[in-house]
């Protein structure tokens, strides 16, 4: 129903010379048509971007040669708005829930992780560099997936216990333009010892990664077996 048709119906219904009881029903339908048209316009054209942040079920961790902590979660960015959305910055924090030690995480790189194992073989993950931090463009009603590599800004000693991994995705300079998500990570004594013993000895070495999977029952990332 066009706005001109609605306006004509309302004008006709409000005319005293032609008013009839059935015109009340026509007027009600016309007003509802205008309201529905405005709502549809907002939802499909005018609604600003609204970013929802999700974390994947597979997490990578390792220590660098100088004891910086690197964490690489798969991040899903869904745009629930009607306009194209962008994310230009992703940052975070890693906080011990036992000792309240916390350290900031900065976005360093984007990785790609693939399973290079053959059919029937045990999963063998291989990671490779894709890009440095980039502007992520997200069309309406679509999801952008990135394996984001975050690194601490100072050495951080891992102790056994639960940690909170929190990420903030920024699409603007206002507080309402920052979208956050957090999940718990469980580090055992064996995990901390493994990371320390498998870190690279020099800057040029790559080191080995600790793989963790999200356990929905425990509500934590746990070391993958």
Read off the pLDDT of residues 89-126 as tens digits, 9 standing for 90 and up: 999 999 999 887 999 999 999 998 777 788 888 777 77
**Per mean pLDDT, which range of 8-17, 64-73, 145-154, 193-202 is the poorest?**
8-17
pLDDT tens-digit series, residues 48-63: 678 899 999 999 999 9
The count of C-alpha atoms lying within 13 angstroms of the C-alpha of 162, restricted to the half-sphere facing its C-beta, is: 9
Looking at residue 3, what is its pLDDT? 47
Q: Is the pLDDT of residue 26 over 80?
A: no
Rounded Cα distance between 82 and 47, Å, is 5
Confidence of residue 216 (pLDDT cuts 50, 70, 90): very high
Provide the 3-class DSSP secondary structure of residue 137: strand
Residue spans of alpha helices (H) in the chain: 3-14, 21-41, 189-197
Question: What is the value of pTM for the model shown?
Answer: 0.77
Length of the chain: 225
- Contact call for residues 188 and 220 (beta carbons, < 8 A): no
| 111: phi then psi, degrees, rounded to nearest 5 | -115, 165
Looking at residue 127, what is its pLDDT? 76
Rounded Cα distance between 154 and 107, Å, is 14
pLDDT tens-digit series, residues 164-186: 999 999 988 778 889 999 999 99
Q: Per the CATH hierarchy, to which homologous superfamily does domain 51-223 belong?
A: Immunoglobulins (2.60.40.10)
Looking at residue 1, what is its pLDDT? 47
Q: What is the mean pLDDT of the chain?
A: 84
């Amino acid at each position: 129903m066009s706005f001109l048709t609605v306006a004509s119906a309302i004008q006709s219904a409000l005319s005293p010379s032609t008013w009839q009881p059935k015109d009340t029903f026509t007027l009600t339908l016309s007003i509802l048509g205008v309201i529905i048209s405005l709502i549809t316009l907002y939802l499909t054209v005018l609604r600003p971007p609204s970013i929802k942040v999700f974390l994947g079920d597979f997490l990578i961790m390792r220590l660098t040669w100088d004891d910086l902590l690197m964490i690489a979660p798969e991040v899903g960015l869904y745009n629930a708005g009607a306009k194209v959305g962008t994310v230009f910055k992703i940052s975070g924090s890693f906080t011990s829930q036992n000792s309240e030690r916390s350290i900031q995480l900065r976005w360093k790189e984007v990785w790609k992780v693939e399973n290079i194992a053959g059919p029937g073989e045990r999963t063998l993950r291989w990671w490779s560099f894709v890009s440095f931090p980039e502007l992520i463009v997200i069309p309406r009603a679509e999801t952008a997936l990135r394996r984001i590599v975050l690194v601490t800004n100072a050495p951080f000693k891992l102790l056994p216990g639960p940690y909170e991994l929190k990420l903030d995705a920024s699409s603007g300079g206002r507080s309402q333009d920052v979208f956050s998500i957090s999940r718990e990570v469980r580090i055992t004594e064996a995990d901390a010892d493994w990371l320390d013993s498998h870190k690279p000895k020099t800057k040029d070495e790559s080191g080995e990664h600790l793989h963790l999977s999200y356990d929905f029952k425990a509500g934590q990332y746990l070391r993958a077996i």
